[in-house]
Amino acid sequence: MRLDRYMALCLGHPLHGYYMAREAFGEEGDFITAPEISQVFGELIGIWCVAAWHAMGAPALFNLVELGPGRGALMSDMLRAAKAMPGFLTAAKIHLVEMSPRLRRIQHETIAGEATWHEMLATVPEGPMVLVANELFDAIPIRQFERRDGRWLERSVGLAGESLAIGLTDAETAARQGAPGKDGDVLEFAPARTAIAGEIGARLARHPGAALIIDYGHLVSAPGDTLQALRKHRHVPVIDAPGECDLTSHVDFEALTNALRQGGAAVWPAIAQRAFLLAMGIEPRTAALAARADTRMADMLQRAMARLVDESQMGNLFKVIAATSPEVATPYPFGKA
């Protein structure tokens, strides 16, 4: 089967899919996301959302949407920070897009207040919107093509005896015949990823709004095999224990930007997570929390901040991109469109 089909089954099968049946997040899971590293991350995102709401005219009602909310930590921290901003929470209608019933139950316990759950963005009501997606797009299935003897062949998963193996199939036309490359190159395409970005862009074209997307990846489209599997915080083979490992790939931010713009949104160049968090005030907020904490907690807060912003950790690997309705002003701290 095609690689994207394999990924979709491994991650989202109703009974055996990774996100349906396993605890993925935290020390006991397979990876840790930024909201679980530090509460400050979600607080700063909440402040950004409030500023975006004001920039779009502070509508009396708007949709506050999160795609892939995990265990609900990000939205919980966002809402706590937003309490200091009069009117925002009164106007916000919370919509969470989550395919896993197990994660929905956890989110319901984590997030205070009313929320509506959806399996896809398409069922979120039309209207003004502020949307956040943190580490969602890396988990959306991809297709891979490998250059062999001057031709692009598609990678697929099949049986080699009684074991799974990755092989190549003749899918030259699907690989966008004419794409440049040399033998050994690997191209990655994520049609489902660009479809979601296009849908976000189209909503921003129809209604006032803003979207903030945070993920790890590269700024410019280029050949490379970025597909990886994680289990218990360790890299394992992609075909190891289907349904028991997290499968992700690096996000192509150039392709994401193009899809958002084609949908009709204004998009600002992606910046490193380090630059975004420093500009939003992660240092003074962490210092303020540490000043009220004991020595052990203060040290934990500082180490958490370092993990999020240090160049050798998540600071440069993760990127942040903002998209808005064309009439909405440039969102801080991004540059010109």
> Which string of b and e fits 163-174 if b means at least 16 CB within 10 Å?
ebebeeeebeee
- Average pLDDT (105-109) is 90
**In one letter, which amino acid is 230?**
L
Q: Decide the pairing of beta strands 92-97 and 62-67.
A: parallel
Residue 265 in tokens: 């949104």
* Superfamily grouping for domain 8-140+191-222+241-324: Vaccinia Virus protein VP39 (3.40.50.150)
Instruction: Write down the H helix ranges in the chain.
Output: 3-12, 18-21, 34-37, 39-55, 73-82, 88-91, 101-110, 191-206, 253-263, 273-280, 282-291, 295-309
For residue range 2-52, list pLDDT tens digits in order.
Answer: 999 999 988 888 878 788 766 655 455 555 788 889 999 999 999 999 999
Percent of the chain topping pLDDT 70: 93
Position 67 scores a pLDDT of 98
- Delimit the domains of the chain by residue range: 8-140+191-222+241-324
Using the predicted structure, report yes or no on whether residue 262 has a pLDDT greater than 50: yes
Average pLDDT rounded to a whole number, residues 96-121 = 90
Q: Which residue has the tokens 């935290």?
A: 26
